[in-house]
Structure 1
Amino acid sequence: MLVGAITWYVYVDQKERILKNTVANYSYYLEQRNNLILALLSPTVSDISYLARQRSVRKYSGEKRDIELLKEDMQLMAMSNQDYKQVRFIGPDGRERIRFNWIEGKLQSVPDSVLQDKSDRYYYRNALELKPGEIYVSPIDLNIEGGQIEVPYERVIRFATPVYSLKQKLLGIIVINQYLNGYFSQLSGENKKVNKHFMFLNTDGYWLMGPPNFPVFGFMFNNLANQNFAHYFPNAWGTISSQAAGSVYNDNGLFVFRHVSIANDFINGKQNNLNNLISDPQNDWVFVAHLKKTDIAQLLHLRVLLWSALLLSALVLFFITYFISRYRYKEQLYIAELNSLNEVLEDKIDERTRELTEANRELQSVNEELESFSYSVSHDLRAPLRHISGFVDLLVKKNQEELNEKGKTYLRYIKEASSEMAKLIDDLLNFSRMGRAEMKMVRFDMSSLVGEVQKAIERDNKERDIRWHIESMPEVKGDYALLRQVWYNLINNAVKYSSKKEYTQIDITCEVDENQYVFSIRDNGIGFDMKYIHKLFGTFQRLHSDAEYEGTGIGLAIVRRIVNRHGGLTRAEGAPGEGAVFSFSLPKA
Structure 2
Amino acid sequence: MKPSDLSWKETLAAAVSFYLIIAIPILLVLIVLHWADSYTERGQWAARQMSSLRIASDALLTPVREAANDLSLLAEQAAYDPGGWQPNGELAFDFARFARHRGIYDQIRLLGPDGMERLRVNHRDAETRIVPADELQDKAHRPYFTKGIQLSAGDVYLSRFDLNIENGRIETPHRPTMRLAQVVFGPSGKKLGLLVLNLDGEKILQLLAHRDRNSDLGYWLVNPQGYWLYNEDPSLSWGFQLSRNTTISNVDGLGKLLDRPIGGILEVPAGQFAFNRIFLNSHGASPGLVDDIERNIVSEEPYWILLTVVRQEQLYANSRARLEIMSVVIAVFLVALVPVAFLWGGWRGRTERDKLRASIYARVIEQSDELVFVTTPDTAIQFANPAVERKTGYSRAEIIGRTPRLFQSDEQSEGFYASVWQRARTRQHVRALWINRRKDGTLFYESKNVSALTDKAGRLTHLVSVGRDVSDEHERQEREMRLVDQLSAQLSHHFNNLLGPIINYAELAADTAEENAQSGIRADIEKVLSGANRLRDVLGKISAMSLGSQLSQGVLAVGPVVRGLLNIERTTLPGDIALSIDLETGMDEVGVEFDDLALILSELISNARDAISGGGEILLSAKRLVLDGDAYCSTCGELLNGTFVDISVSDTGRGMTASELKHAFDPFYSTKQSSKLVGETLGIGLSRVRNRAHANGGHVIIETEEGRGTTVHVYCPVLEIGNGKGPSKETWP
With structure 1 as the length reference, what TM-score do the two structures score?
0.51
8 Å Cα contact 1:47-1:77 kept in structure 2: no
Check conservation: 1:268, 1:275, Cα contact below 8 A. no
Aligned to 1:252: 270
2:112 is the counterpart of 1:91: yes
Question: What is the RMSD of the two structures over their aligned residues, measured on CA atoms?
Answer: 3.1
Q: Partners of 1:85 and 1:268 in 2: how far apart? A: 21
Relative to its length, the structure with more helix (as a share) is: 1
Instruction: Quote the residue 1:131 is aligned against.
Output: 152
Distance 2:273 2:310 in 1: 5
Alignment correspondent of 2:58:
35
The yes-or-no answer on 1:304 pairing with 2:324 is yes
1:14 paired with 2:46, answer no
Once the two structures are superposed, what CA deviation does each residue of 1:300-339 show, in whole Å capped at 9, x if it has no partner?
3134235435534543554454343333364896xx99xx
Residue number among 118, 121, 125 corresponding to 1:100 in the alignment: 121
1:506-521 superposed matches below 5 A = none
SS at match of 2:189: coil
User: CA, structure 1 residues 273+128, in 2 after alignment: closer, same or farther (shift >3 Å)?
Assistant: closer
Q: Which residue of 1 aligns with 2:430?
A: none
| Separation in 2, partners of 1:131, 1:213 | 38
Is 1:238 the counterpart of 2:260? The answer is no
- Cα 1:147–1:86 change in 2 (3 A) is same
Assess if the C-alpha contact under 8 Å between 2:113 and 2:193 holds in 1: yes
Q: Match of 1:150, as an amino acid?
A: E
* AA partner of residue 140 (structure 2): S
Of 227, 241, 244, the residue aligned with 2:246 is 227
Q: What is the rounded CA distance, in whole Å, between the counterparts of 2:90 and 2:216 in structure 1?
A: 45
Whether the 8 Å contact between 2:227 and 2:240 is mirrored in structure 1 is yes
Alignment partner of 2:298: what SS?
strand
Listed as ranges, the matches of 1:297-376 within 5 Å are 297-305=317-325, 307-308=327-328, 311-312=331-332, 314-315=334-335, 318-328=338-348, 330=351
Corresponding residue for 2:298? 278
Inter-CA distance 198–314: structure 2 relative to 1 (3 Å threshold)? same
Q: Secondary structure at the match of 1:53?
A: helix
CA drift at 1:21: 1.0
- Number of aligned positions between the proteins: 330
- Cα gap change, 1:3 to 1:27, in 2 (>3 Å): same
Q: TM-score, normalised by structure 2?
A: 0.42
| Of 83, 98, 105, the match for 1:77 | 98
Residue 200 (structure 2) pairs with residue 182 (structure 1): no
1:508-553 CA-to-partner distances (Å, cap 9, x unmatched) read: xxxxxxxxxxxxxxxxxxxxxxxxxxxxxxxxxxxxxxxxxxxxxx
SS of corresponding position for 1:327: helix
Residues 527-583 of structure 1, C-alpha deviations (whole Å, 9 max, x = no match): xxxxxxxxxxxxxxxxxxxxxxxxxxxxxxxxxxxxxxxxxxxxxxxxxxxxxxxxx
How far residue 273 of structure 1 moved from its aligned partner, in angstroms, is 4.1
Q: Is the 8 A contact 1:92 1:171 kept in 2?
A: yes
Rounded Cα–Cα distance in structure 2 between residues aligned with 1:200 and 1:240: 12
CA distance in 2, matches of 1:81, 1:119: 27
Deviation at 1:237, TM superposition (A): 2.4
**For residues 139 and 73 of structure 2, what CA distance do their matches in structure 1 show?**
23
Mapped contact 2:220–2:231 kept (Cα < 8 A): yes
The verdict on how the C-alpha distance between 1:86 and 1:195 changes in structure 2, with shifts beyond 3 A counting, is farther
Q: Which is further off, 251-260 or 133-142? A: 251-260
Whole-angstrom distance in 1 between the partners of 2:35 and 2:311: 19
- Would the alpha carbon gap of residues 195 and 18 (structure 1) be closer, same or farther in structure 2, given more than 3 Å must change? closer
Work out the CA distance in 1 between the residues paired with 2:125 and 2:32: 63
| C-alpha displacement of 1:62 | 7.5
The aligned amino acid for 1:78 is A
Structure 1 residues 8, 200: closer, same or farther in 2, change over 3 A?
same
- Aligned pair in 2 of structure 1 residues 296, 285: CA closer, same or farther (>3 Å)? same
Distance in 1 separating the partners of 2:58 and 2:36: 33
Match of 1:57? Answer: 79
2:36 is the alignment partner of 1:45: no
Q: Partners in 2 of 1:172 and 1:70 — Cα distance? A: 15
Q: 1:583: which partner in 2? A: none
Contact kept? 2:185, 2:192, Cα under 8 Å? yes
Residue identity in the other structure for 1:292:
Q
Structure 2 spans left out of the alignment, 5+ residues = 1-23, 360-733
- Out of 102, 106, 111, the position equivalent to 2:132 is 111
Does the CA contact (< 8 Å) of 2:180 and 2:198 recur in 1?
A: yes
Give the Cα separation in 2 of the matches to 1:292 and 1:63: 57
Q: Which residue identity does 2:163 align to in structure 1?
A: L
Q: Amino acid of the residue matched to residue 219 of structure 1?
A: F
Measured in 2, the distance between the counterparts of 1:243 and 1:62 equals 46
Cα distance in structure 1, aligned partners of 2:252 and 2:241:
21
Q: Does 1:293 align with 2:316?
A: no
Once the two structures are TM-superposed, the CA of residue 291 in structure 1 deviates from its matched residue by 1.5
Quote how far apart the aligned CAs of 1:267 are.
4.8
Residues 119 and 70 (structure 1), Cα distance of their counterparts in 2 relative to 1, 3 Å cut: same
Match of 2:215, as an amino acid? V
Report the alpha carbon displacement of residue 131 of structure 1 after superposing the two structures with TM. Answer: 0.9
